[in-house]
Amino acid sequence: MRAARALVPIAAILAAGVVYAACSAGGPSAQKGDASLSPAAQREIAQVEAEIDRIEASTLQRVAAPPDNQVQQVELLGKLLLYDKQLSVNRNEACTLCHMPETGFTGPVSELNRTTGSYPGSVRTRFSNRKPQTHSYAPLAPVLHFNRAQGDMVGGNFWDMRATGRRLGNPAAEQAQGPPTNPVEMGLPDSACAVYRASQRPYRGMFETVWGKQAFAIAWPRNVDQVCNTPGPPTAADPLPVHLSPLDRGRAAATFDQMAQSIAGYEASAEVTPFSSKYDAVQGGKAKFTAQEQAGYALFRGKARCNECHRDGGPGEEPMFTDFTASNIGTPANPRLPYYAENRPDAQGYAANPAGRSYVDGGVGVFLAGGAVLSRPSAVDARWAGQAAGNMGRVRVPTLRNVDKRPYPAFVKAYGHNGYFTSLKAIVHYYNTRDALPRCKANDPGEGKTCWPAPETTQNMNTSKMGRLGLTDAEEDAIVAFMKTLSDGFTPVG
């Protein structure tokens, strides 16, 4: 929703935009950094990987007798791709390492959520700059557009809306083309590598049934394995290191589109996007809120103003708990992000974050200004450059569906684009008291209770709808109780 727009000087846009681009600087030695994984995190990651392997194996069994319905075939393919570790450079990371069902399709490693906030890539020393969003409900985001009457950019996927959906007609499909070649995620040096790896998988035949025999009819160069086993990014001199004929390049690109569309098809399916929460059951007259949940819902829509951005629908609108616009709520920086230390070339010579400690996430504004980003699955529309200043520091309003879904009560989830918050109570307390409590001092024991750190950026920060809500402790708890009704998989009693 709209915040009062502060004017941002053009210099600030440029400064934010070049954060990733000024890449050549950096020390000569590969840095170990503080990004190495703790034993506790390694143990949990191993468990999640075993679960991913189990799901992939059992899903592959369905390929032998596939559904005869084409939409169901697409969904099955999408699931196989999402759980496929072979699509990452070191064959160790599926999409789902960062998006598992038991957490509502976001990060499944409690220890990482509690500590680093972000997740390691296929190259395990490289961490992303942001917390994984949920990928359920993502295909229902509108294609990114400018709403002139509201003065708002609306839609897209990613915190910064940069998967626009304008080329494939679906933001989530374009989103799925980001991670495979993102150097801090699945790390392939060329999108053709994802196609090559898929061509070697047992689901190849089903892919050809759905999308056509041409899909993998590609003459791969002899060195394709070696090229695809080398972590990206590619060099500027050879940006597409899998050397293909123009025709084969076109086929590989079309097949990559179809892989992405299959993934988005699965994400939109009833398995991932089911509208099966207690909230939905209550709306359908099949369940009743407790008194506390009901009070929380009333506050959510009233005094606490949450509904002005996390919309529960309206005439002709589904309750998505986001209005798909962008805001800056003033979330503090998360100093635990290993990304801040990724300022020196690693063993492969790559530095994800040359700005180091001074990195500030400029969100939607950086994308609109054409600034450097870690992956760019959708082209920037230069006609939107004028919207960049007003969107600096803003990120897309996340859906609150499944925001509390977790495998067991002590499991920690991270919230906000940088994972600064680690409980729903904390973020509600923040909305309530951001502007009412003093700034924390260094190592202040009251952080999160009696004081708050400075926002990561105050650019375009929303000051009209939050910060001093005057909620009591019990009212904060009621809002948390309401948000817990948004977890899918609720079974009405009786």
- The distance of Cα 437 from the centroid of its chain, to the nearest Å, equals 30
Query: Measured from the CB atom, is 60 or 304 closer to ligand HEC?
Result: 304
Q: Which residues contact 397 (CB under 8 A, 6 or more apart)?
A: 1, 309, 310, 322, 323, 324, 325, 326, 327
Q: CB of residue 432 vs ligand HEC: minimum separation in angstroms?
A: 7
Angstrom distance (rounded) from CA 304 to CA 424: 14
Query: Any contact of residue 309 with ligand HEC (CB under 6 A)?
Result: yes
- For residues 281-301, b (16+ Cβ closer than 10 Å) or e, as one string? bbeeeebebeebbbbbbbbbe
Selected range binding ligand HEC among 108-116, 157-165, 247-255, 283-291, rule: CB under 6 A: 157-165
Angstrom distance (rounded) from CA 125 to CA 115: 15
Interface residue with ligand HEC, options 116, 125, 157, 164 (CB under 6 A): 157
Query: Any contact of residue 63 with ligand HEC (CB under 6 A)?
Result: no
Angstrom distance (rounded) from CA 34 to CA 333: 17
Query: Any contact of residue 185 with ligand HEC (CB under 6 A)?
Result: yes
Selected range binding ligand HEC among 28-36, 206-214, 274-282, 300-308, rule: CB under 6 A: 300-308
Distance linking the first and last C-alpha atoms of the chain = 40
Query: Any contact of residue 130 with ligand HEC (CB under 6 A)?
Result: yes
Interface residue with ligand HEC, options 176, 320, 355, 481 (CB under 6 A): 176
Query: Any contact of residue 155 with ligand HEC (CB under 6 A)?
Result: no
Query: Measured from the CB atom, is 73 or 157 closer to ligand HEC?
Result: 157
Selected range binding ligand HEC among 20-28, 50-58, 89-97, 271-279, rule: CB under 6 A: 89-97
Angstrom distance (rounded) from CA 167 to CA 267: 18
Query: Any contact of residue 113 with ligand HEC (CB under 6 A)?
Result: no
Query: Any contact of residue 78 with ligand HEC (CB under 6 A)?
Result: no
- The distance of Cα 273 from the centroid of its chain, to the nearest Å, equals 16
Angstrom distance (rounded) from CA 136 to CA 133: 9
Query: Any contact of residue 487 with ligand HEC (CB under 6 A)?
Result: no
Q: Which residues contact 286 (CB under 8 A, 6 or more apart)?
A: 492
Q: Which residues bind ligand HEC (CB under 6 A)?
A: 1, 82, 93, 95, 97-99, 119, 121, 128, 130-133, 135, 138, 141, 157-160, 172, 175-176, 179-180, 185-186, 263, 304-306, 308-310, 327, 329, 331, 395, 397-398, 400, 403, 415-417, 424, 427-428, 431, 462, 465-466, 479
